[in-house]
Every structure is written in C-alpha cells, then in structure tokens.
Structure 1
Amino acid sequence: MVRARPWTAVPDQGGRRVVVTGATSGIGLLTSKVLAHRGAHVVLAVRDPAKGERVARELSSMRGRVEVSRLDVSDLDSVHAFAERTGEVDVLVNNAGVLGLPRSASAQGHELQLATNHLGHFALANLLLPRLRDRVVVVSSASHRHGDLDLEDLDWERRGYRPYAAYAASKLANMLFLAELQRRLGAAGSTLRATGAHPGNTRTAITSSTGNGLTTRVGAVGQGLVAMPAWRGALPVLYAATMDVPGNSYLGPDGPGELWGWPTQVGRSRAASDPDLARRTWTATERLTGVVWPFSRR
C-alpha cells in the first residue's frame, strides 16, 4: 500500500445539499461540522430531534445552513417518511450505525444491527436516488472482513446469535450494497456514483451501544489508549463524500492494519468483492425492506 499524504483540504461545498445519518455524535457529527464549515447545506438526519437541534445550534456559526430532520434508520416507516419530505440532495452519507447489540428487533421485526446498519440505509438510498444529484457514501468498517452472510437467515432467527458476528455481517452487507449499487448505476447509464469509507480505529460512542457494561468500559479504555480522534476518523468519509473518486471506491486510513492514518484507497475482503453475492444480497434486501431499484430493472 502506498502511504497517503496527510489530507484535510475538503473542497468548497457551497450550493450542495448533504444528508448525514447519525449526525449527532462521532463520525457523523464531525462530517457534518466540516461540510457546514465548507458551505454545504447539511441535513442532520437524526433519531432524537432535540439532540439534533442542540447540534444545529453548535453549528449555527458555520458558513453553510444546517437543518434537523427526524430519522430512525432502523425503522422502515421512519425511512419512508424522511424520504417523502426530503427534496433534492447532492450527497447522502449513510453513516449511522450500532455495534455489538444484544439480540433485539427493529420496529419491523428485523435483527437490529442489520436493520440499522444495512436495511434502513439500503431503503433510504433507493428512495432518494431519483432526487440525488451526485453520490451515495456508504460508511462500513474493517470488520466487514470477518463478516459471513447467511442469506437464508439474515435476521439470525435460526442460528445462535452472536453480537459481533452480526455486526460484521451487517458491515459486509454494506460493502456488497456499495458494489452492487455502483454496478446498477453504471448499467442504467447514470452519472451518480457510490463510494465507501471506513474510519479505522476511532474514538466514538459506538461501543456504548453494546448493552454490556464490561464490554463498553473495555472498549472505552482501548479507544482512549490507541484510537484516533473523531476528526481524523471522519477524513475518509469526507474524502469519499467530496473528492473526485471513481464509483465503488473504498477509502480508509493508510496506517498498519488500516487502524489509523490518513485517507487512501484500501482493499476489501474476497466476499465483499463477489459480484454474485452482491446481487443475491441486493435481492434478499429488497425482499426484507420492500424497497426496490427505482430505475429500469437491471
């Protein structure tokens, strides 16, 4: 891997409207802050509007406009409602995520990590595509390399549930969505693109969602010792959202193990590069969400 040069030069974003899911903390907050600073109209797509309004006030001095819109990405009804009231968008940043949850279900009965990390974002992107002007950014994780998808049991109803295996599987699903979305856009002759990124080992609050006190404390100590600050972890996402990179690009940190460093193109697992698995995962996700490809079918 060629080591990247430090990059923080986010281009001017004046005149661009960007939706960021999970925008009240961590990578989503820092991404929103930088985009607003560079002049973008940022839509904070958040589960808790009161928290979103507090963030919006914090960002009110930025050059760009900031607005708050309620979105619980794990709830497909909420996704549909958000999409229906959201106008034209230049960039959709599918960032919201949960990690290592105990077995629990979404409003529609889907395993909650799959629902939050993959199903809701799949539905949101497809619903917004007809009004999208530039790109979808898929925020995944290096943990996708450990993911294993059982397309006959995506909701973990027959298998013994393992929280981190379910998380890794949802992140592999993100990668397959990225690849198949770009393939479909190309086949449809669209100028839209799909790009991806992962933040490496970054200090965020995502480990607090595990429901296990010991795991949360250990994760917090580990992050405090070795993880990058959130602004550094947001850089691959910002690069994927603003720079002229090809569709299906995947950005991450350039350091050892992609744990820390500056944004660069990074690799992906063999499973994440499997076009047949990507197509079958897309079909299975359409079935679970009821949301289908909005253009002529490919």
Structure 2
Amino acid sequence: MTEWSAAQMPDCSEKTVVVTGANSGLGFEATKAFAQKGATVVMACRSLDRGEQAAREIQDSITEQTGATLNVRECDLASLDSVVSFADGVREDYDDLHILCNNAGVMAIPRGETEDGFEMQLGVNHLGHFALTAHLLEMLVRTDGETRVVSHSSGAHTAGDVDFDDLHRENSYSKWEAYGQSKLANLLFAYELQRRLDDAGITDTKSVACHPGYADTNLQYRGPEASGSKIRYAMMKALNTVAAQPAAQGALPLLYAATAPGVDGGTYYGPGGLMNMRGAPERQESNGASRDETTAERLWEVSEDLTDVSYAIETLTPTA
C-alpha cells in the first residue's frame, strides 16, 4: 500500500462512527478525516467543553459541504458509569454503528487510580475500552454491511507484560511498564475479539488493531505535566519537534484500519517508514506475546469480572 493518505478514504456519508478521545491529538485528526468524508461522528470526550471547541474547529476547517455531523458526548473512560451512560445514549439515539475507534489513552503518568479502583493506564487504555466495546458490540453486529472495531495500540506493547499477580501495579509501579502492559492488553483484546467473532460465525464485524508510530500529540506531555517536571517537558517538546511526524500522519493507520477495503480481522497496521515510526500505513506484525491465546483468554475473563460486563458473542445475530 504505497503512500496511502486520508484522501483515499472511501465515502463515509452513510457511516456512523464513534471516536474516543476525539477532541485532541490522533482522535481529533481522525474525526476531522471522517468528517471530510461525510460521516456522522460521535465524539466521545472526557470534557464536553474541549469536545465542543474541537468540533467547531473541525467544522470550520471543512471547506466543502460534506453533510458530516459531529455529536459531542461525555465519555470518561476512567469511570465505568460514564462508559455505560455514553453507550446507552448511543444505542438510544442511533440505529446503526459502523465503526468504533478505541483511540483515547494516557501514557507514562504517575500512578493513579480510576473511579473504579483500576490502575489508571490499564483502566483507561484497556478496561474502559473493553467495557465500551461490550456495550456497543450488539449494535455493531446488527448494523447492515461490514462494521469494524479498531483498537489503538503502540510499539510500546513490545515492552509490556501482563502481570496477573499485580495487574494494577500496587506492589511495584513503573510508568513505562504500566503503559506497555496497557498497550499489550489492547492487542490481546483486539485479537481475542476477532477469534470470538470467528467462533460465533460473525463475518461482517471485524476487530483490527493499529499503532501511530511516533506522532506529535499532547499525549507525550501528560506525564511530565502530571509529575511537574519542567525539564522533562522541555526535553519531550524538543524531541517531538525533531523526530515526530505530524498528528495527522500518525492518525493514518487508524483511518486505514477503519475504512480501507480488504482489511482482514485480527490484523495490525502501522507506519511503514523509518523503524515503523513514521510514514504511510502498512500491515505489520505485533510481537509474539500479543498473539498468546492463553494470556488473551485469561485477560478477557479478568476484564469481564473487573468491568462487570459479559460479551455473550455467541448469542449475537447479524441483521439478515
């Protein structure tokens, strides 16, 4: 796939898309691209004010009438109650859901806990999206035509290890190890979801994963800001300026996984340039740990228990 760009996205005027973390960074750029192709985008944002501001900026940037609709809704992935409320609203107000982009995340922050007592990076990056997908999966399966769940991971998954004995890192916390665990969990979830869809004979809903390479977003600054380190903040800003690709470029693997024809379920996409850190999207291979089915099954069971959701995929019936 040579130099694929957002301009090559198919028309999305009949599509309804949910993007988490849609008000900034990769989510903002993905939302803009969907809007330019005419989609109805439900912008799942922790802050309604920031979400509304982002929606206005996107609308102002679209020079042609595409018929796009941007609907900003509150969704705090650090709160299972918020996730439930958001999903209930989507199911109530929309008949169809074609694409779910599990994009939002936090990276390398000091240890904290979600409203439900989960380690923050695992809670937001994996468990919040695990619960959200569970609440919206029936809607995706019953929507006519092909639908997709796209999980945004990271190259940092290679440094991850799912520690079931200390899943929330209460005994020993390293911000980068916790981040790596959460990004590995994203892949384990994405691939296990596809296996379960396959086992249930559901062929029109696909689970796909991606990573952005090294993209210049505000994600890199949250760790230094949370720890109050001006030196680390300045160093990260300098590194982003020199080495990172623009956020719009970093969003391309997500957009490709979500919309390109011929994407298979259970696949992984990332930038194909230098060290897989920049460039046009291509199909890639994640590490062996991400394909460990025993770990994936155990993580799935633990995640269902922690989030109090049940997928029951075998009971879902696609629309005839």
TM-score above 0.5: yes
Does residue 138 (structure 1) correspond to residue 151 (structure 2)? The answer is yes
Tell me the distance in 2 between the aligned counterparts of 1:221 and 1:206: 14
**Partner letter of residue 57 of structure 1?**
R
* Letter paired with 2:9: V
Equivalent position to 1:184, from 177, 193, 196:
196
Match of 2:52 in 1: 53
CA RMSD of aligned residues (A): 1.4
SS of the counterpart of 1:291? coil
Query: Does residue 163 of the first structure (1) align with residue 171 of the second (2)?
Result: no
Size of the alignment, in residue pairs? 294
Alignment of 1:223-262 (within 5 A): 223-244=240-261, 245-262=263-280
Aligned equivalents of 2:190, 2:237: Cα separation in 1: 30
Q: 1:151 aligns with which of 146, 150, 164?
A: 164
In structure 2, the residue matched to 1:7 is 4
| Corresponding residue for residue 22 of structure 1 | 21
How do residues 54-133 of structure 1 correspond to structure 2 at under 5 angstroms?
A: 54-61=53-60, 62=62, 63=66, 64-87=68-91, 88-132=96-140, 133=143
SS in 1 for 2:313: coil
- 1:14-50 CA deviation, whole Å, 9 max, x = no partner? 1100000001111000000000010100111000001
Structure 1 residues not aligned, in runs of 5+:
none
1:276 aligned partner, one-letter code: T
> Secondary structure of 2:165's partner?
coil
Residues 233-268 of structure 1: per-residue CA shift (max 9 Å, x gap): 010000001012000111000013211111000111
1:222 and 2:219 are equivalent in the alignment: no
Alpha-carbon distance in 1 for matches of 2:282, 2:270: 6
Deviation at 1:127, TM superposition (A): 0.7
Residue 223 (structure 1) shift:
1.0
Counting helix residues as a fraction of each chain, which structure ranks higher?
2
Matched-pair contact (CA < 8 Å) for 1:138–1:197: yes
* Matching residue's letter, 1:168: G
* Secondary structure of residue in 2 paired with 1:5: coil
What does residue 32 of structure 1 align with?
A: 31
Instruction: Kindly provide the amino acid, as one letter, of the partner of residue 174 in structure 1.
Output: N
Query: In structure 1, what is the Cα distance between the partners aligned to 2:213 and 2:315?
Result: 35
For the residues of structure 2 that align with 1:188 and 1:166, how far apart are their CA atoms?
33
| Residue range with higher mean Cα deviation, 79-88 or 21-30 | 79-88
Unaligned 5+ runs, structure 2? none
SS at match of 2:98: strand
Percent identity, aligned pairs only? 40
> Displacement, 1:5?
1.0
**Kept in 1: contact 2:34–2:41 (CA 8 A):** yes
C-alpha deviation, 1:58, in angstroms: 1.8
- The aligned amino acid for 2:267 is S
Cα distance in 2 for residues equivalent to 1:251 and 1:295 = 25
Alignment-mate amino acid for residue 37 of structure 1: Q
Matched residues in 2 for 1:203 and 1:287: separation? 36
Contact (CA 8 Å) 1:130, 1:294: kept in 2 or not?
Answer: no
After TM superposition, give the deviation of residue 297 of structure 1 in Å: 7.3
For residue 295 of structure 1, what is the aligned residue in structure 2? 313
